[in-house]
Amino acid sequence: MVARVLHVINGEHYAGAERVQDLLVSQLPSLGFDVAFACLKTGQFPTMRRSQDAPLHDLRMAGRMDLRPVARLTRFLRDEDYQLVHAHTPRTALLAAIASAAARVPMVYHVHSPASRDSTRGMRNRINAQIERLCLRRASAAIAVSRSLARDTIAGGVDPAKVFVVPNGVPGRPVRPPRDSGRLDWTLGTIALFRPRKGTEVLLKALASLRAAGLPVRLLAVGGFETSRHEHELKQTAAEMGVADAVEWTGFTRDVDRELHRMDLFVLPSLFGEGMPMVVLEAMAAGVPVVATHVEGTSEAIRDGLDGLIVEPGNPADLASAVREFIEARVDWSATSHNAVERHAERFSDQAMAQGTAEVYRRVLNLD
């Protein structure tokens, strides 16, 4: 029997959570599931996704409080004979919870990040956290992408027996060539949908500190900006810190591998709100040593001192000090690169993520 699963997604961006959705729908058919998308917002996902063979249905909402798509989603679940609906955000969970109850179809909810601290907008965080908490009562299972998110979910009142940890995963990829020991210059890299919680201003201050100390470092910043206002703020910070000419802003790219191979170190200076960052896993798979902050699932992926270095968030001096550990060879770049590639292959592949998700589906649908 092939079970039919509908993933209800926002669709506005193509960042970490959206890449999880895309990879899952690419992998799940080989594990016995017929999968499709229902998209609630216009945006990047429909054109950027790699899983173009999977059906994508337009259930567009006119606004945040528009619940009219619930009726269409309910009919769709019934008419197309879906056995399971999988929601990925508080917005999609709200619609999926109502529709799944009406259609008598079980719901799985994917916890990608902590809703209560997902952004710098406190009121929206509180509303989303409350919606998520209410909808999780309807869910037959919750998939948390890290142990820290699983603990948060259980602390919010969800039955621990319904919470499953399935770490994010990414495909294997070409490993970055070894760094030439004779090179003096270093390229720091970061990949993100740049928004306040990513802490990019902390990285810019660390970059300024390193260059002031006479170290030949540059920053390669890959990705788009959440808002034009934040773009202006970051570029103004770079100018004020005197590093504008040492930063390359590439914008969004499909060719992540090419950009990773230009980096000597991958730096993720997030302040909060990370579940299990896909970009960290991609850097590991490519053999690019990681310097990242101790937030949520990041430190579950990176073993401090083995696969990279972990520092406290919001501290430019600590971030700069960790980078210097590599530059001044107190941490072995080659050994760290090798360890990261091995750890990715063992724990954080896209196949492992899909297999873990399929196991949750089988439990919910009693397919074992």
What are the residue boundaries of the structural domains of the chain, listed by start?
Answer: 3-169+349-365, 186-347
Full-model pTM: 0.89
What percentage of residues in the chain have a pLDDT greater than 90?
Answer: 70
Give every CB contact of residue 79 below 8 A, 6+ residues apart in sequence: none
Per-residue pLDDT tens for 30-67?
999 999 999 988 788 888 888 999 999 988 887 777 78
Q: Which of 9-23, 24-38, 189-203, 305-319 has the lowest mean pLDDT?
A: 9-23
* 200-212 helix and 316-327 helix, angle to the nearest 10 degrees: 60
Query: Looking at domain 3-169+349-365, does it have CATH number 3.30.1540.10?
Result: no
Angle at 44 (CA atoms; ends 354, 12), nearest 5 degrees: 85
CA 367 remoteness from chain centre: 29
Provide the pLDDT for residue 119. 62
Q: Which of 218, 219, 278, 222 is nearest to 251 (CA)?
A: 222
What the block records as the tokens of 151 is: 């603990």
DSSP structural state of residue 149: H
3-state secondary structure of 246: helix
Q: What is the mean pLDDT of the chain?
A: 91
Per-residue pLDDT tens for 225-278?
989 999 999 999 999 999 999 999 999 888 889 999 999 999 999 988 778 899
CATH for 186-347 is: 3.40.50.2000
Q: Same fold for the domain at 3-169+349-365 and the one at 186-347?
A: yes
